[in-house]
Amino acid sequence: MPGFWGLELTNSYARDADLVLALGTRFAETDASSWDPGYTWRFPPSRLIQVDIDPAEIGRNFPVEIGAVADTALAVAAIADAVTTTRSAPLSRADLRATITAARGAAFTAAREQGRGTKFPLRPQRILADLRAALPADAVLVTDVGWNKNGVAQCYELPAEGRFITPGAASTMGFGPAAAVGVQIGYPERVVVALIGDGGMSAQLPAIPMAVEQGLPVIFVVMNNRAHGTIADLQAANFGSGFGCEFRDQDGLPYSPDFAALARSCGADGYQISAPDDLRTALTKALRRWRPAVLDVPMVNEPVPAPGHWNITDIYQGVFDLPHSM
């Protein structure tokens, strides 16, 4: 990813590009580093070819050299034909490929090392490592928002046969559980995992009985930090404290519904992860049983690495100075 969650190599390559071919992207604020030319995109001097099926998106956030209203699949085929007609012999950029391979390898190696810990609740990197080890290569990961989206995009080594479906910059909490049910309908023979936070699961609880009703073996993995973790982290980082995003009971202790018990009440399998090695065991059992399952995985509220830039305070600029009437 570029922007706020993008690695330094990604952002520097985007920033210094001669030409950018944008296919179906809004250049949303987080992906564009709040549209600050010092971080991710610079138009000009970079030139932009933007393809989108929605004409309102062409040139909306950056000036275009060429704007095309088109279906992306058709546009890519036309571009490929034009390029191969103009230059039949492909260019080889061995140094660039080596640089990208080294950067990706370093990111994956760091994530693997961080995922070796045995502390409980689990670190998110450990959850991703166990998933990668247990799932078949052609499994489909459907994410919600938060660590399960941005962490996967940064440090999950997705096999060539696998698929990663995410709401991206739309950040639609609750997308993951329902979308995973739809993906399982479309790919009944493949393993489909909804990788979601407790906030996303709470926002779309009906996905569980729907999977049971339809006989769909979706595996809902709840990365449960008992918080809207990304928002809580942004609040703390930018304002010094948080409000309303870390869930606690009347005694001030971290609170969460029992998602495993909820699954069982709906007729699905429910697994409450209570020790570091339980997750791998539960995943293996869920894959073998091939029926709807919810794995409730306690996780530390660890901020997603954000090496890029996002001027979140700009969103609130002047808001607190507005007059408020009763």
Token pair 């985007």 is found at: 14
Contacts 24+ apart (CB under 8 A), 184-187: 184/211, 184/216, 184/217, 184/218, 185/214, 185/216, 187/140
How far is Cα 244 from Cα 279, in angstroms, rounded to an integer? 29
Residue from 170, 152, 177 nearest 162 by CA = 152
For domain 114-298, the CATH architecture is 3-Layer(aba) Sandwich (3.40)
Is 114-298 in the same CATH topology as 3-91?
yes
Task: Convert the pLDDT of each residue in 34-91 to its tens digit.
Answer: 999 999 999 999 999 999 999 999 999 999 999 999 999 999 999 999 999 999 888 8
Instruction: Report the C-alpha gap between 282 and 270 in whole angstroms.
Output: 9
Phi/psi at 31 (5° precision): -70, -20
Q: What's the pTM?
A: 0.85
Nearest Cα neighbor of 204 from 226, 178, 184 is 178
Those residues whose C-beta lies under 8 Å from the C-beta of residue 318, and which sit 6 or more positions away, are: none
Is the N-terminal amide bond of 44 cis, ω within 30° of 0? yes
The architecture of the domain spanning 3-91 is: 3-Layer(aba) Sandwich (3.40)
Q: Which helix (H) or strand (E) holds 149?
A: helix 147-155
Average confidence (pLDDT) per 10 residues, the chain, 326 residues: 88 95 92 93 97 96 96 96 91 90 89 87 93 96 86 86 84 89 97 94 94 98 85 74 79 89 98 96 98 96 81 59 45
Which sequence spans correspond to the domains of the chain?
3-91, 114-298
